[in-house]
């Protein structure tokens, strides 16, 4: 199995998105997503990164995208894989899994 390790970046905030009142927090979504991916694709490497949109740190591209989330009033959390937005507000596992499969991930 030839899997290219993919970084999944979740952009979120401590406070809930105004339009996402009944949804889990960004941190809860991050933990849920990390566990779901590990269950779906066991023993296949991936990297999860959380970026706080109000206090972004790290690489310039992540800081710039965090600013974009605020400036464009995107629904957060926003899930990004290889610079492609694959989830916004209430990310869907089916969409995220399909994107990972494009990089060689296989459900076991």
Segments making up each domain of the chain, as ranges:
25-101
Segment 41-52 shows an average pLDDT of 95
Q: Which two tokens stand for residue 89?
A: 């507000």
Tens-place pLDDT, residues 12-39: 998 876 666 678 889 999 999 999 999 9
CB atoms within 10 A of CB 12: 25
Segment 34-50 shows an average pLDDT of 96
pLDDT, greater one: 86 or 107: 86
Q: Which helix (H) or strand (E) holds 105?
A: none
CA atoms within 13 A on the CB side of 36: 15
**100 pLDDT exceeds 80?**
yes
Contact predicate 33/91, CB 8 Å: yes
pTM for this prediction? 0.91
The CATH class that applies to domain 25-101 reads: alpha beta
């Amino acid at each position: 199995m030839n899997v290219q390790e993919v970084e999944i970046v979740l952009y979120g905030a401590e406070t809930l998105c105004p339009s996402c009142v009944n949804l889990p927090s960004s941190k809860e979504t991050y933990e849920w997503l990390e566990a779901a991916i590990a269950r779906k694709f066991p023993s296949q490497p991936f990297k999860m990164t959380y970026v706080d949109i109000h206090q972004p740190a790290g690489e310039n591209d992540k800081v710039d995208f965090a600013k974009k989330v605020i400036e464009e009033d995107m629904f957060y959390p926003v899930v990004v894989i290889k610079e492609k937005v694959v989830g916004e507000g209430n990310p869907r596992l089916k969409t995220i899994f399909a994107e990972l499969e494009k990089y060689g991930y296989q459900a076991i």
